[in-house]
């Protein structure tokens, strides 16, 4: 009976900031579930890398891999970190918001580096869809993550929506880029084994 009274008293005195507590629990579940998905996709990406290792694509492979394959693994890892941070027993949301901000700013800076690598690598000429999924959309996702840290105090509800949107966007980007790379290199391997010399188009394989 005393425990029930204390619980009712806690519910009365605990302020509700736009459903922040319930929203945080839902976000934690979202990050946990998508973190598991990301972990599986990381395994698939490593299988893809081992597949690529069998190919002989000539010079510039390392630079192209840093521009196309490495960002996918980085994005997977970021969501795993968000999943871990979102389910950790923080004493307040300020520390969690700091994690959002750091990952968001770091991701934006890393994405700028990736865009430069895309323009410098010579293995493959990026098309509009490549710039969208390797440049624009990741920058938007990390920007939303960084903005959520700023809105955490003034508008927690929108901040949680921003984090959830960033996680889903990174998930979509990762799935698209992993599939795009898998089909491209599978086509390339088939072309190499058949003795073809024409450079395959990534868009023709999707």
Say what the pLDDT of residue 136 is.
96
- Provide the pLDDT for residue 29: 66
Q: Where are the domains of the chain?
A: 22-194
Tens of pLDDT, residue by residue over 57-106, are 555 666 777 788 888 888 888 888 888 887 778 787 888 899 999 999 99
The per-residue pLDDT for 102 is 95
Q: Pick out the chain residues at pLDDT < 70.
A: 1-62, 185, 188-206
Angle at 25 between CA 107 and CA 14, to 5 degrees: 115
Instruction: Please give the pLDDT value at position 94.
Output: 86
Residue 17: the pLDDT is 45
| pLDDT given for residue 123 in this prediction | 76
Report pLDDT for 58.
58
């Amino acid at each position: 009976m005393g425990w029930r009274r204390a619980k009712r008293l806690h519910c009365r005195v605990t302020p509700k900031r736009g459903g922040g507590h319930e929203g945080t629990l839902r976000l934690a579940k979202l990050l946990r579930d998508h973190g598991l998905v990301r972990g599986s996709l990381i395994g698939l990406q490593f299988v893809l890398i081992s597949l690529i290792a069998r190919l002989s694509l000539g010079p510039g492979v390392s630079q192209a891999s840093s521009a196309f394959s490495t960002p996918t693994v980085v994005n997977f890892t970021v969501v795993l970190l968000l999943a871990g941070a979102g389910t950790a027993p923080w004493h307040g949301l300020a520390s969690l918001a700091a994690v959002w901000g750091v990952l968001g700013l770091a991701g934006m800076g890393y994405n700028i580096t990736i865009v430069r690598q895309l323009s410098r690598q010579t293995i493959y000429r990026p098309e509009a869809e490549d710039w969208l999924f390797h440049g624009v959309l990741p920058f938007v996702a990390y920007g939303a993550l960084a903005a959520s840290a700023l809105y955490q105090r003034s508008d927690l509800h929108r901040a949680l929506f921003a984090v959830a949107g960033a996680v889903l966007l990174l998930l979509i980007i990762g799935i698209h880029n992993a599939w795009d790379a898998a089909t491209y290199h599978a086509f390339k391997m088939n072309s190499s084994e058949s003795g073809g010399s024409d450079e395959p188009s990534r868009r023709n394989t999707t």
